[in-house]
Amino acid sequence: MPADWSRESWELEVTQLDLELAERFTIARETWTVARNVFVTLRFASVSGVGEVNPDSYLGETVDSVAAQLEAIDPRSLENPFNLEGILEILPAGSARAALDIALHDLAGKIAGLSITKLLGVKGRVPAPTSLTLPIAEIDKMVERARSLADHPVLKMKVGFDGDVDAVSKVREVFPGTLRIDANTGWNEEEAKKRLKELEALDIELCEQPIPIGDYDALGRVTESTSIPVFADEDVKTSRDVAALAGVVDGVNLKLRKTGGLREAMRAIATARAHDLKVMLGTDLVSGVAATAEAHLAPLVDHLDIDGPLLLKEDPFPGVTYDKGRITVPDLPGLGVRGAPA
């Protein structure tokens, strides 16, 4: 690449794709059968980088609104493909910036001839095992699904529905490994306190977002009421939120879609460490593009929930690989995904 980056051409292309799920995916407030995702391809000279995001309807995002944000970007404003910090000035935190940030890191890694893990300086650190998600369904179906995954080290079970304590108890009877739960804002404060107290005997690793967002006082009272560690998810997006949640929860679940990409995710992780908060890295209903981007950050966190590609009927762009919860990222320049829009 030349010293005068301005001589090289930039291109940005946005694609919307529907990814069929392997089965219906239900949480406390929503159900999906298809993931509607936005992909962005960023080209600099003869090299392409790709990013992906699953927009969050809970935050008012749609594939159309995210695509429109991306299509309004002039990629020349990045100035050069190693201006990884500069992306924070182009778009606010959220899905559009996440997709562009992933694409830029993929591009920079390919130009440098380095995987993102090496580019970020975390190669060689062994990541924690990832959980597999058990969505809400009939209790018998949830139990059978858990039984079939008994050799997997970690399950994350969706709760926040009537009868969820009984469902967790029945799943615990057949699943001997680490079990964490995620209410996705499905309880109110009193329900959360009551149900978490009932669940304490079932060896639950942690509980994500037990109550609706925006009430840190109530969230803090829930955290104080139980021996089960409480993690914020919907309540935390950027490093500023992490700092504000210090002393309120035991940990935070970060996602690239919320932080707006890897750059802010690294800031949020560092902020959590400074405030003695545990960190989970989660993902959405995504292909190997976004999941692999998050997997490159996996060595920096305590807990992983990067199972998005495993929830699809077929991953069209494979990258990160799985072996009973253990993840491996490709040791290839950039993300290392195959077949992505380029």
Give 300-329 pLDDT, tens digit per residue. Answer: 999 999 999 999 999 999 999 999 999 999
Instruction: Tell me what pLDDT residue 5 has.
Output: 62
How far is residue 71's CA from residue 74's CA, in Å, rounded to a whole number?
A: 8
Q: Which residues contact 1 (CB under 8 A, 6 or more apart)?
A: 8, 45, 81, 111
pLDDT at 338: 87
Q: What fold does the segment set 132-328 form as a domain? A: TIM Barrel (3.20.20)
Q: Is the pLDDT of residue 340 over 80?
A: no
What is the rounded distance in angstroms from the CA atom of residue 298 to the CA atom of residue 282? Answer: 10
Average pLDDT over residues 22-34: 93
Residue 332 clears pLDDT 90, i.e. is over it = yes
Tell me: the pLDDT tens digits for 217-226?
999 999 999 9
Residue from 2, 46, 37, 41 nearest 17 by CA: 37
pLDDT for 6 equals 61
Using CA atoms, how far apart are residues 46 and 11, in angstroms rounded to an integer? Answer: 10
At residue 74, the pLDDT reads 93
Looking at residue 175, its pLDDT comes to: 97
Contact (CB, 8 A) for 227 and 238: no
Name residues whose C-beta falls within 8 Å of residue 52's C-beta, 6 or more positions apart in sequence.
37, 38, 39, 40, 99, 102, 286, 287, 289, 290, 293, 317, 340
In the predicted model, what is the mean pLDDT of the chain? 95
Share of the chain above pLDDT 90, in %: 92
Over residues 274-295, mean pLDDT: 97
pLDDT recorded at residue 8: 74
The alpha helices in the chain, defined as continuous H runs, are 63-71, 95-112, 116-120, 139-148, 164-174, 189-199, 216-225, 239-244, 256-259, 262-274, 288-297
What long-range pairs does 191-195 form, CB within 8 A, spacing at least 24?
A: 192/222, 192/225, 193/221, 193/222, 193/225, 193/226, 195/159, 195/164, 195/165
Residue spans per domain, the chain: 5-116, 132-328
Distance of CA 338 to the CA centre of its chain: 20
| Residues 86-132 pLDDT 10s | 999 999 999 999 999 999 999 999 999 999 999 999 998 899 999 99
Determine the Cα–Cα distance for residues 231 and 208; give it in Å rounded to an integer.
Answer: 5
CA-based end-to-end distance of the chain: 20
Q: Can you tell me the mean pLDDT for 244-251?
A: 98
Where residue 59 falls among pLDDT bands split at 50, 70, 90?
confident
Q: Does 7 score more than 80 pLDDT?
A: no
Separation CA 277–CA 269 (nearest Å): 9
* pLDDT, position 170: 98
Residue range 173-204, pLDDT digits in tens? 999 999 999 999 999 999 999 999 999 999 99
The fold for domain 5-116 equals: Enolase-like; domain 1 (3.30.390)
> In 226-311, which ranges are continuous DSSP H helix?
239-244, 256-259, 262-274, 288-297
Q: Point out the least confidently predicted range of 55-64, 217-226, 259-268.
A: 55-64
**Residue 87: is it exposed, middle or buried by C-beta count within 10 angstroms (0-12/13-18/19+)?**
buried
pTM (2 d.p.): 0.95
Identify the burial level of 270 via C-beta atoms within 10 angstroms of its C-beta, where 0-12 means exposed, 13-18 middle and 19 or more buried.
Answer: middle
Of the candidates 131, 97, 147, the residue with the CA atom closest to the CA atom of residue 293: 97
Identical fold, 5-116 and 132-328 = no
User: Residue 18: its pLDDT value, please?
Assistant: 96
Provide the pLDDT confidence category of residue 342 given band limits of 50, 70 and 90. low
**Amino acid 84: pLDDT:** 94
* Closest C-alpha to 281, from 138, 119, 165, 128: 128
- Determine the pLDDT at residue 3: 55
> Are residues 99 and 70 in contact, defined by beta-carbon separation less than 8 angstroms?
yes
**Of the candidates 115, 112, 104, 131, the residue with the CA atom closest to the CA atom of residue 49:** 104
